[in-house]
Chains A and B, each alone.
Chain A
């Protein structure tokens, strides 16, 4: 028995060593295979390695709210020079309201895509008086806030929104994207939330569904939200709000929504390396080449739509701009709303507030 065990251990060790892949770069994805950001990362890795001249392997580290993978990068993996982190919008929202280890200011941006999210509704839903049923979950928090404002109008304080929300909106937690889409088709939910590409792919031919609003695109130069050329004009959240309530959205709740929305959508698909990584410039140059490669841009456009890239240092500046927008009041409102409206367990982090 002992001899057999010794042989077993030796053979296992030899076999294990031969199975270890010696890849050049490693891309950390905080989700399981097949999910949105994971698919995006696969496309990026496939095209980027051609321009980089080295192979890239993807390592999935999934976990609750996609936080553990990013934490693992921050705490351990980032010190390896050949590790690239792939983050998404949900990580951006979690950075504001959840207990996380990661901190964008400690990384260099390789590139990010400034994206948009769209909300659709059943054509027969009367937004001013009807009951809204919306699927909730990680990364969808800004959508819930926008819906609350659209159905309730401008209200003095966050607690007033909560009263209105409880009367008018049913937030259904725990529905993954594909099942949410099916529940919307069945009519169990009368609103849905999609990426731009998914909206055009699945809903535009169905007459019972309508484009309700999209969050708009964050303009880098001004830090303001502008219309998205992928959609017909006049469907931003702000346009819809004005159309419904005859005035512009305003107030502390609106400011908190903008903060959450910006962290989610601007950081929706992003690549990071540790600060001072010797490969930073090489990776940025390869990414720059990749986005001008027609084959790569066609593949990405099919996945995310036609949206601009922010490459290199500009990404770091964007993060700094977003960070400067974090005030104590906005953050407190956001945390309070997450806890009370969605039933989440969030955390106020005073260290995020820029004095």
Chain B
């Protein structure tokens, strides 16, 4: 949970950190599985704290939570927002964890139904959902999405491996990292804004328990939104290469689309409830292709696979699929850790939310240190700092001109995958092949519908920038 709370450090960082402890579990590798899966489940819950309290995504899978969650926190409702996050994460984690592990062998066929064209169409649907998190001004929205797409294309052309828009800077040949972009878009502008509004800090939380339980009650009131979000997160988790960020943002988009008369991005608890559980469900879903085929559906799953090899457990191998103890360890740990995180969360949140009350310069120094540390993990060179500075300038401009930063980030993440799947699809399939694929065509029609709806809906545009 602590790892989840550290800004931008998620399950992947956590698993890498505990790799050195792998030896201790060689005697009983099942215990090792319990430990690792618990870390994954707990860090998914911990991620939410950072997004809600600091306005900086706890990881890339909780970016949508900042849109309404951080606003609630600024309005003095931090404990209520955490209450929603805790209950939502827990219920979705338990439910989708059970669904994933109880029905594990049945997913094999489902995953194999989705080919490259369907993955490409899925990316297009996700990109269409960006329309739900844009600004009110149409041109600023186009500008934000365009900016995200362009930033995502910086790096290397996947077809030729040649550098693209790197301006001769070799460091950029790998593309802009997600951590500097998140830090620059969200972290630094929020710190600067905090200094500007020192006299306007969030009101102290007067009635912690009342707020927390109000958050729990909100979840039951919005149970449809909560489980819709979980279902979307779970499904995107199953598909390797789709990724958690998409599930999060699609879940948020689905909530916004469902209530055209409501405003979002202004601290609407429904918005938070609609997307918060998606990342927990996504983690459960991501374990399915990893365990069944040995195909990591997300970076954390790749590290998990590596550690399992160290334990002598080969994820994806037919032998392991017959091992009941392994499945009990996996499912039990995921569900158990989710429940335990909830209990711990109830009693520790009161301490964590005090971060909002500490003197601002200490708070800002802490966040700035963590941001610098997280960015230096990439190459450990000055280049990491230069790119952080550039992304921060970009973030400040976006905030000043009310260009939706979540839209920039999501477009950035999606474009690389969209380009990759488009390239693969166009190499292997003709237009005739594509038209005859029903799932592909359905997804494309859905994408067109989403674009049209998001342009003409009455509650267009977020208050969050």
Does B19 lie within 8 Å of A64, measured CB to CB?
no
Q: Please pick, from B195, B295, B373, the residue contacting A179 in the complex, using a CB distance under 8 A.
A: B295
A350 is an interface residue with CB less than 8 A from chain B? no
Whole-angstrom CA separation of A34 from B116 in the bound complex: 23
A68 touches B366 (CB 8 A): no
Check: B155 CB closer than 8 A to any chain A CB. yes
Could you tell me which residues of chain A, from 136 to 187, have a CB within 8 Å of some CB in chain B?
Answer: 138, 170-175, 178-179, 181-183, 185-186
Q: Which of B156, B173, B174 is most buried by chain A, counting CB atoms within 10 A of its CB?
A: B174
Q: Give the docked Cα–Cα distance between A15 and B195 (Å).
A: 19
- Interchain nearest-CB distance for B332 vs A (Å): 25
> Whole-angstrom distance from the CB of B299 to the nearest CB of chain A?
6
Report whether B302 and A35 are in contact in the complex, using a CB–CB cutoff of 8 Å.
yes
Write the chain A residue with the least CB distance to B166: A64
Q: Which residues of B contact A39 (CB under 8 A)?
A: 306, 309
Quick check: is A188 within 8 A (CB to CB) of the other chain? yes
Q: Is A222 at the interface (CB under 8 A from chain B)?
A: no
Output the least CB separation between A190 and chain B (Å). 11
Are A182 and B309 in contact, CB atoms less than 8 angstroms apart?
no
Q: With contacts A61-B380, A170-B427 known, is A33 near B159, CB below 8 A? A: no
Residues of B within 8 A of A42 (CB): 19, 306
Let me know if A181 and B295 touch, CB within 8 A.
yes
Query: Total interface residues on B, using CB and 8 Å?
Result: 63
A277 contacts B by Cβ under 8 Å: no
Q: CB distance A182 to B361 under 8 Å? A: no
> Does A12 interact with chain B (Cβ within 8 Å)?
yes
Assuming the contacts A174-B420, A178-B295, asked whether A8 and B361 have C-beta atoms less than 8 A apart, the reply is yes
In the complex the two chains form, is A68's CB within 8 Å of B173's CB?
Answer: yes
Asked if B316 and A201 sit within 8 Å, CB to CB, the answer is yes
Nearest Cβ distance between residue B272 and chain A, in whole angstroms?
A: 30
Q: Which of these, B159, B198, B381, contacts A4 with CB under 8 Å?
A: B198
Whether a CB of chain A sits under 8 angstroms from the CB of B241 is yes
Query: Is B158 within 8 A of A173, CB to CB?
Result: yes
Q: Does B463 touch A at the CB level, under 8 Å? A: no
CA distance A202 to B305 in the complex (A): 13
Q: Across the interface, which residues of A come within 8 angstroms of B22, CB to CB?
A: 46
- CB-CB < 8 A to A284: which residues of B? none
Selected contact of A46 from candidates B20, B160, B379, CB within 8 Å = B20
| Proximity bits, B10-48, A CB within 8 Å = 1, else 0 | 001000100110110000000000000000000000000
Q: Is the CB of B174 within 8 A of A62?
A: yes
CB of A251 within 8 A of chain B? Answer: no
Chain A 1-14 near chain B by CB (<8 Å), digits 1 or 0? 10011011001100
Chain B residues whose CB sits within 8 angstroms of the CB of A15 once the complex forms:
365-366, 369
Contacts of A46 in B (CB 8 A): 19-20, 22-23
Interface flags for B271-308 (1: CB within 8 Å of A; 0: not) read: 00000000000000000010001111001001101100
Nearest-CB distance from A55 to chain B (Å)?
10
B366-377 interface mask toward A, CB cutoff 8 Å, 1 = contact, 0 = none?
A: 101100110001
Contact yes or no, A16 B369, CB < 8 A: yes
* In the complex, A43 has a CB within 8 A of chain B: yes
Task: Compute how far the CA of A1 lies from the CA of B360 in the bound complex, rounded to whole angstroms.
Answer: 11
In angstroms, how far is the closest chain B Cβ from the Cβ of A344? 5
Interface flag for A129 (CB, 8 Å) = no
Partner of B428, one of A64, A170, A178: A170
B435 at the interface (CB under 8 A from A): no
Chain A residues near B260 (CB-CB < 8 A): none
Shortest Cβ distance from A342 into chain B, in angstroms?
8
A106 to chain B, nearest CB (A): 19
CB pair A12 B198 closer than 8 Å: no
Q: Is the CB of A174 within 8 A of B158?
A: yes
**Which one of A5, A170, A172 has the greatest number of beta carbons of chain B within 10 Å?**
A172
B156, A12: Cβ atoms under 8 Å? no
B171 touching A11 by the CB < 8 A rule? no
Closest residue on chain B to residue A67 by CB atoms: B173
Interface flag for A63 (CB, 8 Å): yes
Scoring A179, A182, A303 by chain B CB atoms within 10 A of each residue's CB, the highest score goes to A182
Complex CA–CA separation, A1 to B364 (angstroms): 13
Report the separation of the CA atoms of residues A223 and B316 in the bound assembly, to the nearest whole angstrom.
Answer: 36
Give the distance in Å from the alpha carbon of A67 to the alpha carbon of B166 in the complex: 15
A293-330 interface bits toward B, Cβ cutoff 8 Å, 1 = contact, 0 = none: 00000010011000000000000000000000000000
Asked if B317 is at the interface (CB within 8 A of a chain A CB), the reply is yes
Separation of A302 and B424 alpha carbons in the complex (Å): 32
B111 is an interface residue with CB less than 8 A from chain A: yes
Partner of A175, one of B23, B115, B314, B424: B424
25 CB-based A-B contacts, threshold 8 Å: A4-B195, A4-B361, A11-B361, A16-B369, A16-B373, A34-B299, A34-B302, A34-B306, A61-B379, A63-B173, A72-B379, A76-B381, A133-B428, A173-B423, A174-B158, A178-B294, A178-B295, A179-B295, A182-B112, A183-B424, A185-B112, A186-B115, A188-B428, A201-B317, A344-B161
Given contacts A4-B361, A8-B368, A205-B318, 4 further A-B contacts (CB under 8 A): A33-B12, A33-B303, A186-B112, A345-B160
Q: B: which residues have CB within 8 A of A?
A: 12, 16, 19-20, 22-23, 111-112, 115-116, 155-156, 158-163, 170-171, 173-174, 195, 198, 240-241, 289, 293-296, 299, 302-303, 305-306, 309-310, 312, 314, 316-318, 360-362, 364-366, 368-369, 372-373, 377-381, 420, 423-424, 427-428
Residues on A lying within 8 angstroms of B by beta carbon are: 1, 4-5, 7-8, 11-12, 15-16, 19, 32-35, 39, 42-43, 46, 59-65, 67-69, 71-72, 76, 133, 138, 170-175, 178-179, 181-183, 185-186, 188, 198, 201-202, 205, 299, 302-303, 343-345
The 4 A-B pairs at the shortest CB distance, nearest first, are namely: A34-B302, A11-B365, A174-B158, A64-B173
